Amino acid sequence: MARQLRAEQTRATIITAAADLFDRHGYESTSLSDIVEHAQVTKGALYFHFAAKEDLAHAIMELQARAWHEVTKELDGRGYSSLESLIRITFGIARLSVEGPIPRAGLRLATGGVAVRPPLKHPFTEWRDMATRRLLGAIKEADVHPDVDVEAVAHSLVSFFVGTRVVGRSLEPVARQPRRLAEMWHVMIRGLVPVPRRARYLSLAARLEREIRTV
C-alpha cells in the first residue's frame, strides 16, 4: 500500500511539473529532461509512468476535462437559470486556472496542436456544445434575445473565453484572468440580454470576479 501511494504521489508530481512547464514554455519547447529536472525525479521514474511526452500531455488534458466536468455537474444541481449557470461555469474554469497549472496547461495544449485521443473530446467542442445548450435554455427563460444565432454566439463565446487567456499569457499574470472574463461578460450580456434583465447578470459577473480575487 505504501509503495502504491508513493507511486501515485510521484505520478502526480510529474504531471504537475509537466503542466507548469507546458503552460510557461509550450509543449514543443519542453523536453522530458526538463520535466525530470523540474519534478526532481529520475528518468526511470518518469518512464515508469509515461512512455512519451505525448502521454503526459494526454494525462493533463484528461485531468482538465475531469475538473471542468465536476464544475459543471456541481452547478447543474443548484437550480440556477441557464444563463447564470453558463456564467458561473466560465468563472469556475477561470478559478481552476488561477489556482493551479494543470487547467492552464490543458488550455495551452488544446491551442497548441496536441492531438486529443478518443474517447476524450476536444475541450473547445465540449465547451461550445455546453454553451449552446445553455443559451437555448436562456432563450426559453427570456434571459437572451430570441432572435440570436445561438451557434454563432456559442462559438464566439468560446473563442472570446479562450482568447482572453491566450492573449493574456504573454501580456499579464494569470491572476488577471477573472478581470478579463468579467469584461468579456459585460460585453456579451449587453449584446444578448434584454434590458430589464441585464442588471442582474452584470452584477453576477462582477461578484464572481471579486470572489476569485479574494480567494
Highest mean pLDDT among 11-15, 22-26, 65-69, 177-181: 11-15
Per-residue DSSP letter, 175: G
Q: Which pLDDT belongs to residue 1? A: 54
Question: What pLDDT shows up at residue 6?
Answer: 85
Angstrom distance (rounded) from CA 133 to CA 154: 9
The fourth-level CATH superfamily of domain 62-213 is Tetracycline Repressor, domain 2 (1.10.357.10)
- Kindly provide the residue ranges of all beta strands, DSSP E only, lying in 39-124, ordered along the sequence: none
Cβ neighbours of 153 (radius 10 Å): 19
For range 19-26, the mean pLDDT: 94
- The yes-or-no verdict on residue 118 having pLDDT over 90 is no
Instruction: Give the per-residue pLDDT at 160.
Output: 93
Tell which wins on pLDDT, 32 or 113.
Answer: 32
Round to the nearest angstrom and report the end-to-end CA distance of the chain: 35
**Lowest-confidence segment of 46-50, 63-67, 211-215 by average pLDDT:** 211-215
Half-sphere exposure of 128 (CA within 13 A, CB side): 15
Q: Does residue 148 contact residue 135 with C-beta atoms inside 8 Å? A: yes
pLDDT tens profile 92-104? 999 998 888 999 9
